[in-house]
Amino acid sequence: MSVLKMQRISICALKKDRKAILEKLQSLGVLEVDIAVGGDSVGGDGVGGDGYFRKMDTAGQKAGFERAAAAADQALDVLERYVPEKKSVFAALEGKLLIGRGQALEIEENRREILRTAKKICGLDREHAEKLAEAVRIRNSIEGLAPWMSLDVPLKDSATKRTVLFPGTMPGGTTLDSIYEVIAEKAPDAVGADIRLISSEQSMVYLAVACLKEDAQAVEDALRSAGFARPAQTWEKTPAEEREELEQQEKTCAAETAEIEEQIRELSEHRTEIKIAADYYRVRADKYEVLGELPQSERTFVISGYIPQCEAGHVESWLSERYDCAVDIEDLKEDEEPPVILKNNPFSMNMEGVVESYGLPHKGELDPTTIMSFFYVFFFGMMLSDAAYGAIVAVVCAVLVRKFPRMSPGMKKSLKLFFYCGLSTLVWGILFGGYFGNIVDIVSEKFFGTAVTVPALWFIPLNDPMKLLVFSLLFGVIHLFTGLGIKGYLCLRDGKVMDFFCDVVLWFMLLVGLILMLLPSDIFASIAQTQIVFPGWLNTLAGILAAAGAIGIVLMSGRDKKNPALRIALGAYDLYNITGWLSDVLSYSRLLALGLATGVIASVINQMGSMLPDNIVGVIFFIVIFLAGHTLNLAINLLGAYVHTNRLQFVEFFGKFYEGGGRPFEPFKENTKYADVKEETIP
Amino acid sequence: MNILSDLGIVYALLGAAVAVLFAGCGSAIGVGIAGQAASGVVTEDPSKFAKVLIIQLLPGTQGLYGLLVGFITLSKIGILGGGVADVSVTTGLLILAACLPIGIVGLLSGISQGKTAAAAIGIVAKKPEQFGKAMLFPAMVETYAILALLVSFLAVNGIQV
């Protein structure tokens, strides 16, 4: 339950060891490079001031590596499109490949060759796209030729000594008669113009016009006035010949496309190598980025950054044993805001993701994960509260975690979180007697004649909802008081005794007093259905506590204000927060509501399933309804329990003491995408 | 025998109908609104399907709460069991009143939650790593549906038939 303590490590070493040291640091992944501060102190150390150390310009190399990684990624995308990798439904859980050091070195050696393959794949893909475009163009041409097929001369202007022939189109519905009419009207001098209709469609008439050379212009103009247009494309040969040629081209094009696809398919055997090479380039790009930030003199370089205290010793001894270097480890300065890594016990570490999604602890804050984790699992189980559902969730998560050891750490944490939540649900289900709702009652009554009920270990919420409501609110009060208690602890730890007294103790007095006053009242009696009678002195004490707390809050909340009126006003306003506490506590009634929702809807499903009579059809119907209904109910209630458990932690619990806003630790490491290299055993 | 005095069971059934109907409509509208936003995100980035689907489902719970109250009501007045209970007009109206909270709050909170979910889907579209926070905003709206469910449930449960 803690935030790992960070230290600053500064390493000054010889340039000849630069590559080895940087690569080792990168593969260890325990150092967050932060030169900015370190650089200043290096410059201030004297020898030549800022002029002595320079930064190397590595932007070029970095960009080169990034381009290579991008090319490899692109090649993998292409491969995925042509030859999709067979993936199981659980592919997302499988995690990255794991390769040996030897294979990694081999790939590193052949990286240029692999990159060439990758580029070739990308090139083939471009060619493929061009071929496809060409095929479309050919197809369009063939279609464009179709109406001209019965024309037995080339589709273009042609001429003899005295006549010309030109093809064209006119709007749909034009007839030969109407064309001759137009010519007669608009070009009365043209004699002997001959029009041949080639074909006609709904919207277009295709025709060839033959006439004397000297009349050609007049005839064309006349026809134009009626909508004549030349064809968009002209051809050297007759349409039939042209088509044959185009079809030939289309075939060749298709063959070439297939050929390219085949080539890509053959290259797909390099997929794994390309993946590893892509990671190689990615990792190198990161290295050069860091390298560009390092201050370097003629012979030495300096690297500095944050390192968890527990790792600092190893790194120091490892470095100073092998290289001539100066390693300096120091505690952080007061005003530094270090990055955060959470460290928790094996159970609670699975809830770190929940805390991260709210925000990591700010400097000086407590890591709330451990305390939260118990409440988290407790509340989750209470909201789902069905033994069968809990068992299913736990078993599924356990099997997945076991079956896919290489899944990403975040995924593993989530699954383990749900595993524990499933166990908790199982326990609550047994306490409340819920197994798929009331499946045992329904099945035994319907199919075996006698109703059997599995007795609840504690009580059945549906029969006594008020009792569970009271318990829900009680758990809520415990949760909230824990939160307030942590705030008190933090105040004491930081030595703010005044804050501890005013903001925590006074509130505890007020709240405890109010609760003690509420318990013997008639309102509570009607809710809990039992009258609690306190001895007289306790009632008096409750009154005194509440009054003292309230007065204290009114007087002390605005203690940093000098103006007494303002101070009292602020105090009164703070006292108004009592309504906030009320709504916080009532918010825990969702523990009851969501638990009921699971149980009742499961019963609805069971009831629906058992509507048909007890025969083979009835049994099949029951099984179908059972499977579909409970899958849906489990899914939606799992979602509900998750969301509302988070809410109770984030809003009600964290609201009392926790702000978050810390910066996650982002070490200089091998940020791979596809494959991790197996860690060599540290010599 | 006045026909009006036989109407008890009708009022009670009307109560169940109000709970299921209004809460169901609220959820349907809410899930619909969120679904439009979710579809938009998936057209751009199909890999976010699972995340946006989860957020789209959040306004769906009001319908289930309505179903829950409706179911309890039906079994209370014996319609589910086969033997319809003899429900007086007063009891019938009591049940109708008890069903109103989840019906009305379910309708309105379902719609609001749908809008909030649509906005939360916007968060996932731009910052998928903030999924945890995005899921929380719609859940805030749901609190009030849960409170209404509780009151409806406790009231129906407490009415003696």
Summarised one tens digit per residue, pLDDT across range B30-86 is: 999 999 999 999 999 888 888 899 899 899 999 989 998 998 898 888 887 667 878
pLDDT score of A431 more than 70: yes
Percent of chain A with pLDDT over 90: 36
Residue labelled with tokens 């008190």: A488
Sorted by sequence, the CB contacts under 8 Å of residue A429 that are 6+ apart come out as A384, A385, A386, A387, A388, A389, A390, A435
Region of poorest pLDDT, from A68-72, A498-502, A676-680, B102-106: A676-680
pLDDT tens-digit profile of A345-402? 999 999 998 998 888 998 888 899 999 999 999 999 999 999 999 999 999 999 999 9
A252 touches chain B (CB under 8 A): no
Report the b/e string of A610-629 with b at 16+ CB within 10 A: beeeeeeebeebbeebbeeb
**Helical (H) or strand (E) element with A675:** strand A675-677
Is B132 within 8 Å of A600 when comparing Cβ atoms?
no
Amino acid at A248: Q
Q: Does A647 reach chain B within 8 Å, measured CB to CB?
A: yes
- Asked whether the predicted pLDDT for residue A77 surpasses 60, the reply is yes
Query: Buried b vs exposed e over A424-458: b needs ≥16 C-beta within 10 Å?
Result: bbbbbbbbbbbbbbbbbbbbeebeeeeeeeeebee
Q: What is the pLDDT of residue A378?
A: 96
Name the residue in chain B with its Cα closest to that of A608.
Answer: B80
Best of A360, A464, A588, A589 to disrupt the B interface by mutation (most B CBs within 10 Å)? Answer: A589
Could you tell me the end-to-end alpha-carbon distance of chain B, in angstroms, rounded to an integer?
A: 21
- Phi/psi for B86 (5° steps) reads -85, 105
Rg (CA), chain A: 40
With residue A194 as reference, give the H or E element that holds it: strand A194-200
Best residue in A583, A596, A642, A645 to probe B by mutation, most B CBs within 10 Å? A596
Q: φ and ψ at A302, to 5 degrees?
A: -130, 135
DSSP A149: T
Does residue A678 surpass a pLDDT of 80? no
In the chain, the amino acid numbered A588 is: Y
Sign of CA dihedral A192, A193, A196, A200: negative
Q: Give the Cα separation of A380 and A642 in Å (integer).
A: 7
* Nearest residue in B to A355, CA atom: B132
Of B54, B131, B146, the CB nearest to A593: B146
Minimum CA–CA partner of A465 in chain B: B154
Q: For chain A, what is the mean pLDDT?
A: 87
- Minimal Cα distance from A92: which residue of B? B47
Q: Centre a 10 Å sphere on the Cβ of residue A604 and count the other Cβ atoms it contains.
A: 22
Q: Is B31 within 8 Å of B56 (Cβ atoms)?
A: yes
- A158-159/A163-171 β-pairing: antiparallel
User: Which amino acid is it at A331?
Assistant: D
Contacts of A652 in chain B (CB under 8 A): none
**More confidently predicted of A220 and B40:** B40
Task: Please check whether residue A325 is in contact with residue A21, taking contact to mean a CB–CB distance below 8 angstroms.
Answer: yes
Residue A86 pLDDT grade (very low, low, confident, very high; cuts 50, 70, 90): confident
pLDDT value of position B112: 96
* Shortest distance, CA B105 to any CA of chain A (angstroms): 15
Query: Shortest CA distance to A631 belongs to which of A439, A426, A389?
Result: A389
pLDDT in tens, A239-279: 888 889 999 999 999 999 999 999 998 888 888 889 999 99
Q: Do B153 and A647 touch (CB under 8 A)?
A: no
Length of chain B: 161
Tell if the CB–CB gap between B131 and A594 is shorter than 8 Å. Answer: no
Query: Residues A171, A204: contact at Cβ < 8 Å?
Result: yes
Please tell me the distance from the alpha carbon of residue A16 to that of residue A299, in angstroms, as a whole number.
8
Question: Which CATH architecture is the domain A156-234 placed in?
Answer: 2-Layer Sandwich (3.30)
- CB–CB contact A604 B67 (8 Å): yes
Neighbours of A153 (CB within 10 A): 13
Burial A304-318 (b: 16+ CB within 10 A, else e): bbbbbeebbeebbeb
> Residue A682: is its pLDDT beyond 50?
no
B153–chain A Cβ distance below 8 A for any pair? yes
- Confidence category of residue A680, pLDDT binned at 50, 70, 90: low
Nearest-CA distance A460 → chain B (Å): 14
Structural domain spans, chain A: 156-234
Q: Which two tokens stand for residue B117?
A: 């979910």
Task: Please say whether the beta carbons of B58 and B119 come within 8 A.
Answer: no
What is the reported pLDDT for A48?
43
Chain B, nearest residue to A596 by Cα = B68
Question: Strand pairing partners for A7?
Answer: A307, A331
Cross-chain CB nearest to A640 (options B61, B147, B153): B61
Yes or no, beta carbons of B146 and A589 under 8 Å apart = yes
Q: What is the pLDDT of residues B8-37, one digit of tens each?
A: 899 999 999 999 999 999 999 999 999 999
pLDDT in tens, A6-49: 899 988 899 888 888 988 888 888 899 887 644 444 444 444 44
How many Å lie between the alpha carbon of B145 and the closest alpha carbon of chain A? 10
Return the pLDDT at A464: 87
CB contact under 8 A, B136 and A354: no
Structure-model confidence comparison of residues A393 and A321, the more confident one: A393
User: Model confidence over A519-574: pLDDT tens digits?
Assistant: 888 888 887 778 888 888 888 999 999 999 999 999 888 888 888 888 988 888 88
Nearest CB to A590 within list B130, B133, B146: B146
Instruction: Give the domains, in start order, of chain B with CATH numbers.
Output: 3-158 (1.20.120.610)
Nearest to B99 by CA among B110, B109, B107: B107
The reply to whether the predicted model has a pTM over 0.80 is: yes
- Chain B CB within 8 Å of residue A354 CB: yes
B146 to chain A nearest CA, in Å? 6
